């Protein structure tokens, strides 16, 4: 509350410019200009170093500036490597920064630049090795380009995925890389990124409804090759444990499976195509459902390796011989696949590469800026790794 220096009143006070760094006030009643005298006699010039070195304080450019008796702007410019700063000044600043343990406040920088240099990544889980491996690849590229990565797990829940998108928006990430949950069928929550000009790149579990770049493997060909391989090895009654029908990946792997059967004039048996929700437990149940009946298939093509591994374990548990009685092929080349016995035949995909490529594309989009790029698909090749689970001796 400001009082007039003459009449002591508060009601007729307005601000009136600034003199020597102090706010000047004007009392309309008294027609008098005045400033607020400092409470203590100490002039603000003598900078109290204790303030900056109080426990926990992280030095700011202001601390550096005061210590060197120069301005914030100069410090800022020196630290950024601005060209028109005297070499001598720059050195002094850099040294003082080191001395004061200065660490730039990215929050402030990001706020003023409207750029966080942070990429959000949303993955359904990281229990299995697939997503961690993608993240490692993505993080490598991001790091090289000076970007940080904010990792979110949706835990295969759309609710969590929505919360993740909000968290990323609130953190003002510059871009997003996402592989959706198995249950995502409405994509409205992802449109906020579109609306705000934040580029998205989908990978693995992609989305047709949103105009964004996508990176995935040729699921159709991979599946086709896997099933054809089973056929060539003499399997005739081939079943399929498919993924959630909402995922493009499931649809394409299913299509590859069906086409391979058709092309080789093998019958398609609806009872032998079952849907798997991608949980470990359900994979076991699927295996049970397929392998229990008397009239059971002689081979199973699984939508991914975790499912194939559970199937293999189930068969072993039940004493069903693999590959003699039943052949099994998975998808992904999980590290476990080469360790389990019999070793699992699988469709290998370039996992870490997928993360790298997704990140490269995203950074490109960010660089170009909203509306200045066109989304595109990158389809990576797969290769069939033939091991023991699908080859009768």
Does position 339 interact with DNA (CB under 7 A)? The reply is no
Does position 171 interact with a copy of itself (CB under 8 A)? The reply is yes
Q: What minimum distance in Å lies between the beta carbon of 355 and a copy of itself?
A: 12
Q: What minimum distance in Å lies between the beta carbon of 371 and a copy of itself?
A: 7
d(CA 388, CA 385): 10
Backbone angles phi, psi at 8, to 5 degrees: 75, 5
CA distances from 198 to 106, 159, 171, 323, 330 (A): 19, 21, 12, 49, 35
Q: What minimum distance in Å lies between the beta carbon of 45 and a copy of itself?
A: 23
Residue with smaller CB distance to DNA, 65 or 357: 65
d(CA 315, CA 344): 13
Choice from 7, 70, 162, 313 touching a copy of itself (CB under 8 A): 313
d(CA 194, CA 52): 43
d(CA 78, CA 90): 5
CB atoms near residue 308 (< 10 Å): 29
Choice from 10, 108, 211, 232 touching a copy of itself (CB under 8 A): 108
What sections of 29-102 are H helices per DSSP? Answer: 49-52, 61-68, 72-80, 87-99
Per-residue contact flags (x/-) with DNA for residues 67 to 106, judged by CB under 7 A: --xxxxxx-xx-xx-xxxxx-xx------------x-xx-
For CA atoms 164, 207, 282, 318, give the dihedral sign.
Answer: negative
Helix (H) and strand (E) counts for the chain?
13, 15
Residue with smaller CB distance to DNA, 113 or 262: 113
d(CA 387, CA 393): 12
Does position 114 interact with DNA (CB under 7 A)? The reply is yes
Q: Choosing among DNA, a copy of itself, none, which partner's interface includes residue 148 (Cβ < 5 to 8 Å by kind)?
A: a copy of itself
Q: What minimum distance in Å lies between the beta carbon of 152 and DNA?
A: 20
| Residue ranges in contact with DNA by CB under 7 A | 1, 10, 14-18, 21, 23, 26, 28, 58, 60-62, 69-74, 76-77, 79-80, 82-86, 88-89, 102, 104-105, 108-109, 111-114
**Positions that interact with a copy of itself (CB under 8 A):** 15-18, 21, 23, 55-58, 101, 103-108, 110-111, 116, 126-127, 129, 132-133, 135-136, 139, 148-151, 153, 166-167, 169-172, 192, 195-197, 309, 313, 335-336, 339-341, 370-371
């Amino acid at each position: 509350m400001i009082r007039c220096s003459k009449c002591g009143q508060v009601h007729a006070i307005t601000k009136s410019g600034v003199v020597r760094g102090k706010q000047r006030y004007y009392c309309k009643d008294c027609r008098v200009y005045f400033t607020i005298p400092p409470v203590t006699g100490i002039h603000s010039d003598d900078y109290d170093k204790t303030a900056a070195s109080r426990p926990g304080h992280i030095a700011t450019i202001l601390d550096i500036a005061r210590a060197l008796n120069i301005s914030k702007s100069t410090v800022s410019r020196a630290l950024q490597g601005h060209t028109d700063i005297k070499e001598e000044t720059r050195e002094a600043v850099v040294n003082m920064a080191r001395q004061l343990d200065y660490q730039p406040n990215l929050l402030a920088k990001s706020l003023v630049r409207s750029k966080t240099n942070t990429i959000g990544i949303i993955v359904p889980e990281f229990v299995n090795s697939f997503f961690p491996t993608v993240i490692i690849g993505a993080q490598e590229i991001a790091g090289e380009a000076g970007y940080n990565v904010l990792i979110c797990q949706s835990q295969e829940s759309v609710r969590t995925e929505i919360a993740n998108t909000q968290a990323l928006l609130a953190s003002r990430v510059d871009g997003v890389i996402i592989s959706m949950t198995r249950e995502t069928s409405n994509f409205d929550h992802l449109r906020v990124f579109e609306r705000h000009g934040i580029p998205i790149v989908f990978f693995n579990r992609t989305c047709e409804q949103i105009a964004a770049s996508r990176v995935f493997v040729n699921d159709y060909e991979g599946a086709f090759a896997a099933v054809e391989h089973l056929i060539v090895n003499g399997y005739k009654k081939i079943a399929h444990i498919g993924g959630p029908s909402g995922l493009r990946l499931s649809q394409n792997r299913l299509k590859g499976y069906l086409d391979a059967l058709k092309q080789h004039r093998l019958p398609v048996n609806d009872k032998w195509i079952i849907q798997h929700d991608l949980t470990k437990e359900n994979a076991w149940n699927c295996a049970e459902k397929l392998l229990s009946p008397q009239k059971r298939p002689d081979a199973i093509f699984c939508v991914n390796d975790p499912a194939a591994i559970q199937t293999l374990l189930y068969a072993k548990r039940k004493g069903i011989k693999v590959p003699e009685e039943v052949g099994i092929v998975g998808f992904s080349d999980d590290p476990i696949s080469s360790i389990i016995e019999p070793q699992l035949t699988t469709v290998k995909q370039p996992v870490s590469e997928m993360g790298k490529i997704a990140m490269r594309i995203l950074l490109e989009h960010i660089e170009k800026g909203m509306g200045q790029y066109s989304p595109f698909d990158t389809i990576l090749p797969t290769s069939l790794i033939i091991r023991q689970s699908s080859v009768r001796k």
